[in-house]
Amino acid sequence: MGEPREIFLIPSDSPLKEMLHRTLGSLGASLRDASPADFARLSSEHGIARVFLCDLSTEPARSQMLTALKSHGPPLPSVFLICDDWDLCSELGAHAVLNPNADPRALERSVHTLLRLLQLRTQRDRYEREAFTRRGNLRQLTRIGNSLSDVTQLDELIRMLLEETRSMLMADAVSLYLVREVDGEKKLVFVEAQNDSVELEMGQYALAIDNSSIAGFCALSKRTINLRDAYNHRPTEFHFKKSFDTLTGYRTRSVLAAPLINRDRETIGVLSAFNKKRERGVVLANEADIEKYVVPFDFAAQELVECIASQAAVSIEYSRLYNEIRRLFDGFVEASVTAIEARDPTTGGHSERVARLSVGLAHEISDSGSSDFRDIAFSETDITQLRYAAILHDFGKVGVKEHILVKPNKLFNEDLQRIQARFAYARERLVRADRERRIALLQELPPEDTLRERLAELDGQLERDLTVLIETLEAIEQANRPGRPIPNMPEILQKAKELFVPPPYGQDQPVQMLTEPECANLAITRGSLNERERREIQSHVSYTFEFLRKIPWTTKLRGVPGIAYAHHEMLDGSGYPRGISEVDIPYPSRIMTVADIFDALTAADRPYKRAIPVERAVAILYDEADRGKIERCIVDVLVQTRLYEPILKNPRGKLF
């Protein structure tokens, strides 16, 4: 409200009317007539401040006005009494009293003083409102700054930015454009809009950064644009496009557009507000509503939107940088997984599957509400830590010797080839010895019947000896493949170890068909690794931890190395590499352990074992849980939610 220029006189026939009219007119104020009956209506109009001069010096106006004033109750509007009763003024809560019995010059001076008092009070009220508004705006700006600084996802940041801008400016609508490359040219790309009065379903489109639109010119000039009425704007510098209004029936009047400028003084977007409203919550349904409720954006609103735009520019740049770094790191993680799988192609996709299953289990556990997990809750940060730990849990395999890492059978190829060469040599020696015996027999010139009988014996002996060699080698070759138990294998291996053939010419040591280390490897009952090789494979966990702890993780992700380090530990302390027990194993690691075991059992790409059915894998998991090695309740979640089904259908699916 500005300084008072209109004052109501009650009653209209006051004896002082002429003097008041003359005096107030000389001071630039006008005097309007009113009756006691008008007071209730005029003083109660929402949002309009009135000033009243009430002459109580005559009847019946005195009685009528006193009734109206007492009916109104405190607080009274700006009411000034013309009477000689100071106590009455105090009782009613009026602001001042003009004594009607004073001499005319003194009364005139009092009117001058009255008007000056009104001016001062009006200015005071305006300053107080402005101060209150600025304090509120400052608090809101601080809150917006804090909120925006906490948000790293661009979509969420934009939504919050538009909501806060619309609220603070009391705007009916807001929109945001961001500068992006379109066909090799920088343009303003529409991102999002909010509107109280029109439902929006707008697709993406782009504006040129030029004077063909308000937003384009704002971005080009790096200036804030403030229009009282967009339709009455003269297009000297830029043009206003009415296409949205034409399409929706909306009427754009007041417009405020501010550029988002980064620290390099580059425009990265434009934040716009439309149709500032007198009252919150009003829907602008038609032209009459526009006329009644829409006002221009004042200078304070312009300052405010410039502050918001400045904060938004910083936050959007921060969000972009954060997401670029995140994508960069995710790319590094994916490259690391690729490096692991390049060394061991047979387990391709394992890390991704374990990560997908682990993250799914963590979400289900957080949302389950089960008493088993009453103290377990995973934040987004916890989920992110688990995802990185799971995807990188086998990275330490880069430190394991490759021939052990990819060892498909119990014997290395060269070891099996040596055994096969020995058996080939033994066969040749058997055939040669048989030939020598036959020659010696022929040299003896025995009778024909005896010769025939002796040759038949030699044939039988050679066949039996060769059969033993062939069957033993076949048993060794079969035993070499993991997961294929052979009856009486210990006896076969023992006999093979006891087989010797004469030494080659020039040597004096007989050739043993199967050495002690070879026999020990062939006797492996699970998998293809002997104890030494198994320990080396298990060392990948320590290698993983050493690798991960060298990464400068952020505060929110510093738990990643520890989670990965414990994924082979068991609740009863029988795991590796540290043999820690339940109290020291992080819960995310326990989830990863279940996921890792399940995938190892059901994966179809392991050369040393066949994939087993889900039912059998679940039975093994429950058996491990019953033995106190893994969490039964985690296995329950896996089985109940069947999270593994989409993973088994798409085993090469990507997490990132």
Contacts of 426-435 spanning 24+ positions with Cβ under 8 A: 426/469, 426/499, 426/501, 426/511, 426/513, 427/466, 427/469, 429/501, 429/502, 430/462, 430/465, 430/466, 430/469, 430/501, 431/462, 434/458, 434/461, 434/462
Neighbour tally for 274: CB within 10 Å: 29
Whether residue 75 is preceded by a cis peptide bond, meaning omega within 30 degrees of 0, is yes
pLDDT tens readout for residues 211-222: 999 999 999 999
Residue 630 vs residues 538, 567, 615, 617, 627: alpha-carbon distances, Å: 18, 11, 18, 14, 8
- Of the chain, the end-to-end C-alpha distance in Å amounts to 58
Q: Could you give phi then psi for residue 321, rounded to 5 degrees?
A: -65, -45
Lowest mean pLDDT among 89-98, 180-189, 406-415, 460-469: 89-98
Neighbour tally for 281: CB within 10 Å: 7
pLDDT of residue 544: 92
Q: Does residue 44 carry a pLDDT above 70?
A: no
Lowest mean pLDDT among 127-141, 282-296, 499-513: 127-141
Residue 289 per-residue DSSP state: H
Q: Rg of the chain over CA atoms, in angstroms?
A: 46
Buried b (16+ CB within 10 A) or exposed e, 179-213: beeeeeeebbbbbbbbbbbbeeeeeeebbbbeeeb
As given in the structure block, the two tokens for residue 91 are: 């009782």
Q: Does residue 575 carry a pLDDT above 80?
A: yes
Q: Could you give phi then psi for residue 488, rounded to 5 degrees?
A: 60, 25
What average pLDDT does range 317-332 have in this prediction? 85
Q: Could you give phi then psi for residue 191, rounded to 5 degrees?
A: -110, -55
Q: How far is 442 from 5, CA to CA, in rounded Å?
A: 148
Query: Of residues 62 and 80, which shows the higher confidence score?
Result: 62
What average pLDDT does range 473-494 have in this prediction? 83
For the chain, what percent of residues have pLDDT higher than 90?
35
Kindly indicate the confidence band of residue 120, based on its pLDDT and cuts at 50, 70 and 90: confident
Max avg pLDDT among 169-173, 247-251, 586-590: 586-590
**Predicted structure pTM score:** 0.65
* Residue that has been written with the tokens 């950064």 in this structure: 209
Q: Does residue 585 carry a pLDDT above 80?
A: yes
Q: Does residue 609 carry a pLDDT above 70?
A: no
Q: How far is 271 from 259, CA to CA, in rounded Å?
A: 6
Helix (H, G, I), strand (E, B) or coil at 350: helix
Lowest mean pLDDT among 244-248, 464-468, 517-521, 576-580: 244-248
- ∠ CA 430-432-435, nearest 5°, is 110
In this structure, which amino acid lies at residue 293?
Y
Lowest mean pLDDT among 15-24, 211-220, 588-597: 15-24
**C-alpha dihedral, 385 to 387 to 390 to 392, nearest 10°:** -80
What residues contact residue 502 under an 8 Å CB cut-off, 6+ apart?
429, 510, 511
Residue 510 per-residue DSSP state: P
pLDDT of residue 1: 39
For the chain, what percent of residues have pLDDT higher than 70?
90
Neighbour tally for 451: CB within 10 Å: 14
Q: How far is 384 from 378, CA to CA, in rounded Å?
A: 10
* Residue that has been written with the tokens 């957080």 in this structure: 366
Residue 349 vs residues 390, 409, 541: alpha-carbon distances, Å: 12, 21, 18
Q: How far is 570 from 575, CA to CA, in rounded Å?
A: 5
Helix (H, G, I), strand (E, B) or coil at 172: strand
Q: Does residue 480 carry a pLDDT above 60?
A: yes
Burial of 453 (0-12, 13-18, 19+ CB in 10 A): exposed
* Residue that has been written with the tokens 């529409």 in this structure: 190
What residues contact residue 148 under an 8 Å CB cut-off, 6+ apart?
157, 160, 161, 311, 312, 314, 315
What average pLDDT does range 351-369 have in this prediction? 92
pLDDT of residue 199: 81
The answer to whether residues 92 and 69 touch, using CB atoms and an 8 Å cutoff, is: yes
Burial of 392 (0-12, 13-18, 19+ CB in 10 A): buried
The answer to whether residues 603 and 587 touch, using CB atoms and an 8 Å cutoff, is: no
Give the closest residue to 272 by CA, choosing from 293, 253, 255, 292.
255
Residue 269 per-residue DSSP state: E
The neighbouring-strand residues paired with 276 are: 171, 295
Q: How far is 597 from 621, CA to CA, in rounded Å?
A: 8
As given in the structure block, the two tokens for residue 58 are: 């005559």
Q: Could you give phi then psi for residue 576, rounded to 5 degrees?
A: -140, 160
Helix (H, G, I), strand (E, B) or coil at 295: strand
Q: Could you give phi then psi for residue 9, rounded to 5 degrees?
A: -105, 125
The answer to whether residues 216 and 240 touch, using CB atoms and an 8 Å cutoff, is: no
What average pLDDT does range 376-402 have in this prediction? 91
The answer to whether residues 536 and 494 touch, using CB atoms and an 8 Å cutoff, is: no
Kindly indicate the confidence band of residue 349, based on its pLDDT and cuts at 50, 70 and 90: confident
Which pairing describes strands 51-55 and 78-82: parallel, antiparallel, or unpaired?
Answer: parallel
pLDDT of residue 2: 44
Q: Does residue 656 carry a pLDDT above 60?
A: no
For residue 190, give the H/E element and its range: strand 185-195
Q: How far is 201 from 197, CA to CA, in rounded Å?
A: 13
**Mean pLDDT score of the chain:** 85
What average pLDDT does range 625-651 have in this prediction? 92
Q: How far is 21 from 31, CA to CA, in rounded Å?
A: 6
Q: What string of DSSP letters covers 442-467?
A: HHH---HHHHHHHHHHHHHHHHHHHH
